[in-house]
Structure 1
Amino acid sequence: MPIEEISLKVDEDIAINIQQEIGENLTVKQNTYAFDASLGEYGGYRIYLD
């Protein structure tokens, strides 16, 4: 499989309740995230939080 075709699909927003740990809650946004070979030693996904 070509690296350009590797992706991570998040079907719906995912709420992360971490108010006590960092002072706010975060949400993983619904999206299809492309694999980025330039991240870290082995590549990865840049996930957007809101």
Structure 2
Amino acid sequence: MLKVLKPDICIIGAGAAGLSVAAGAAQMGTSVVLIEKSLMGGDCLNYGC
């Protein structure tokens, strides 16, 4: 069964910037959904820039 989520923020892309924004928002008490189609961390963290 599907669950409906109602986050305060939806971040698309879990690269370095997306992860930083998601972590910062969560620390401030904001509900966050982070969407990534591939590996967490993005290309630079996983393969090198």
Structure 2 length normalisation: TM-score? 0.21
Q: Could you say which structure has the greater relative contact order, defined with CA pairs below 8 angstroms and 6 or more residues apart?
A: 2
Q: Whose helix proportion is higher, 1 or 2?
A: 2
Q: Whose strand proportion is higher, 1 or 2?
A: 1
Structure 1 length normalisation: TM-score? 0.21
